[in-house]
């Protein structure tokens, strides 16, 4: 067992009080990737069982991801997070693996909910190691999947798709396998696209999360309700979406900032594998809110994927052992030929 893992496992219980206190107080890149040591042992949880946490796991892509993990990896255990506990319980039961799924209530926008979710997962991980508080099991992977898309203000989109992503991941970091643990942020191709429109490209790629990126987020937040032209005045134009689809403009900004956080996280944690991914257009209730697709069958959406197909890129990032997916700080997508492609956060992979 590596020294870093041993220290982390002994320490994470002791830092939880600080972590919970800190969580209650939160408020308000370039093309480089960050290679992981090829000798890193990624699968080394206790009791030959590997633990994965999925936010927004009660429906859509989150549910499909939980389902595929459990079906395709018999030694896996999933923490299915759901904002609505009742819907989460129903989803967990529907999966049909009562001994390999825990439902965890989690509202990614609320500090108290995040803190309680961390506490519950920590307790379960200890219980699954027969109460071994000095060396409980750790998460092998954390997938930030919870999100909203159409019909929301930019403040709501930032709360869920940017700040919610960052606050949940920061809170769960002590429970993640420190040697090669995987963090995947489910993003969108609109993130790199809005990045490419911005006049802040250098800052977005290379700036400090707290000193440079967060102030930009607060600027965007302050203009909520003022229309797409307002974002252009601070260097965040929406291109063709500004007038024709302002919801995409705002959603893309939230995903763009989440990708910036991903790069910050990868740089700050070089022993982890941290990446963003674009699942493409997936047939879920998220797109049903969009006038273009509302009420349409999947056959009439011009190529939308089923949720099980949409999570293919996430599954590849979680379980493939190639050098490509062992790098950190990249943006990934699967092309029409099933090939995994990657690039920097300011340019969507050519798929």
Residue 20: per-residue pLDDT: 38
Q: Are 238 and 249 in contact (CB under 8 A)?
A: yes
* pLDDT single digits (tens) 80-101: 999 999 999 999 999 999 999 9
Q: How many domains does the chain have?
A: 1
Q: What is the DSSP letter of 36?
A: P
Residue 21: per-residue pLDDT: 37
| More confident call, 48 vs 125 | 125
Q: Are 205 and 345 in contact (CB under 8 A)?
A: yes
Residue 135: per-residue pLDDT: 58
Tokens 């070089």: give the residue. Answer: 270
Residue 33: per-residue pLDDT: 43
Q: Which of 111, 60, 100, 97 is nearest to 82 (CA)?
A: 60
Does 194 fall in a domain? yes
Confidence of residue 350 (pLDDT cuts 50, 70, 90): confident
| More confident call, 243 vs 131 | 243
Q: What percent of the chain has pLDDT over 70?
A: 85
Does 350 fall in a domain? no
Question: Can you give the C-alpha Rg of the chain in angstroms?
Answer: 19
pTM of the model: 0.86
Extract the tokens encoding 293: 């697709």
| More confident call, 27 vs 210 | 210
Enclosing H/E stretch for 35: strand 34-35
Residue 134: per-residue pLDDT: 59
State the distance between the two ends of the chain, measured CA to CA, in whole angstroms: 40
Q: Residue 75 burial (CB < 10 Å; 0-12/13-18/19+)?
A: exposed
Does 241 fall in a domain? no
Does 235 fall in a domain? no
Residue 321: per-residue pLDDT: 87
Does 70 fall in a domain? yes
Q: Provide the mean pLDDT of the chain.
A: 88
DSSP character string of 75-108: TEEEEEEESSHHHHHHHHHHHT-TTSEEEEE--T
Residue 4: per-residue pLDDT: 44
Q: What is the CATH number of the domain that holds 135?
A: 3.40.50.720
Q: What is the DSSP letter of 160?
A: I
Q: What percent of the chain has pLDDT over 90?
A: 78
* pLDDT single digits (tens) 17-70: 333 333 333 333 333 344 443 333 333 345 689 999 999 999 999 999 999 999
Does 242 fall in a domain? no
* pLDDT single digits (tens) 244-302: 999 999 999 999 999 999 999 999 999 999 999 999 999 999 988 898 899 999 999 98
Cα 204 from chain centroid (whole Å): 18
Examine the pLDDT at 12 and tell me if it is beyond 80: no
Extract the tokens encoding 217: 């987020």
**Which residues lie across from 277 on neighbouring strands?**
186, 332
Grouping H, G, I as helix, E, B as strand and the rest as coil, residue 233 is helix
Q: Report the distance separating Cα 148 and Cα 229, nearest Å.
A: 22
Residue 163: per-residue pLDDT: 98
Q: Report the distance separating Cα 48 and Cα 7, nearest Å.
A: 20
| HSE (side-chain half, CA atoms, 13 Å) at 101 | 27
In whole angstroms, how far apart are CA 319 and each of 64, 113, 171, 322? 16, 29, 23, 9
Confidence of residue 181 (pLDDT cuts 50, 70, 90): very high
Residue 24: per-residue pLDDT: 35
Q: Report the distance separating Cα 210 and Cα 212, nearest Å.
A: 6
Examine the pLDDT at 348 and tell me if it is beyond 90: no
Residues 308-318 have a mean pLDDT of 98
Residue 15: per-residue pLDDT: 36
Does 229 fall in a domain? no
* pLDDT single digits (tens) 211-257: 999 999 999 999 999 988 999 999 999 999 999 999 999 999 999 99
In sequence order, the 6+-apart residues with CB closer than 8 A to the CB of 13 are: 122, 133, 134, 136
Tokens 């998220």: give the residue. Answer: 286
Does 302 fall in a domain? yes
Q: Are 195 and 259 in contact (CB under 8 A)?
A: yes
Residue 39: per-residue pLDDT: 33
Show the domain range for 285: 3-217+253-343
Residues 153-158 have a mean pLDDT of 97
């Amino acid at each position: 067992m590596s020294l870093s893992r041993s220290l982390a496992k002994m320490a994470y219980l002791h830092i939880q009080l600080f972590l919970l206190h800190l969580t209650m107080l939160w408020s308000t890149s370039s093309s480089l990737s960050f290679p992981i040591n090829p000798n890193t042992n990624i699968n080394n949880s206790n009791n030959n069982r590997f633990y994965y946490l999925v936010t927004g796991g009660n429906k859509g892509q989150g549910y499909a991801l939980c389902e595929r993990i459990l079906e395709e990896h018999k030694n896996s255990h999933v923490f299915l997070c759901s904002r609505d506990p009742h819907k989460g319980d129903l989803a967990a039961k529907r999966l049909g693996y009562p001994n390999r799924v825990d439902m965890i209530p989690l509202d990614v926008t609320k500090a108290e909910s995040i803190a309680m979710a961390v506490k519950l997962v920590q307790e379960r991980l200890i219980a699954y190691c027969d109460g071994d508080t000095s060396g409980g099991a750790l998460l092998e992977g954390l997938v930030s999947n919870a999100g909203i898309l159409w019909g929301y203000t930019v403040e709501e989109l930032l709360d869920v798709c940017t700040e919610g992503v960052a606050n949940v991941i920061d809170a769960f970091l002590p429970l993640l396998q420190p040697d090669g643990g995987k963090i995947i942020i489910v993003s969108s191709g609109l993130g790199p696209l809005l990045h490419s429109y911005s006049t802040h490209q250098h800052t977005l790629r290379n700036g400090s999360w707290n000193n440079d990126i967060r102030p930009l987020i607060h600027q965007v937040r302050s203009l909520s309700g003022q229309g797409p032209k307002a974002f252009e005045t601070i260097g965040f134009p929406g291109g063709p979406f500004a007038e024709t689809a302002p919801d995409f403009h705002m959603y893309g900004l939230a995903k763009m900032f989440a990708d910036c956080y991903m790069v910050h996280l990868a740089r700050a944690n070089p022993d982890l594998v941290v990446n963003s991914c674009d699942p493409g257009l997936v047939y879920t209730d998220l797109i049903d809110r969009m006038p273009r697709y509302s009420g349409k069958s999947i056959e009439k959406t011009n190529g939308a994927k089923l949720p099980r197909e949409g999570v293919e890129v996430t599954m590849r990032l979680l379980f493939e052992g190639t050098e490509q997916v062992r790098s950190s700080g990249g943006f990934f997508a699967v092309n029409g030929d099933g090939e995994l492609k990657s690039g920097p956060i300011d340019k969507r992979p050519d798929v």
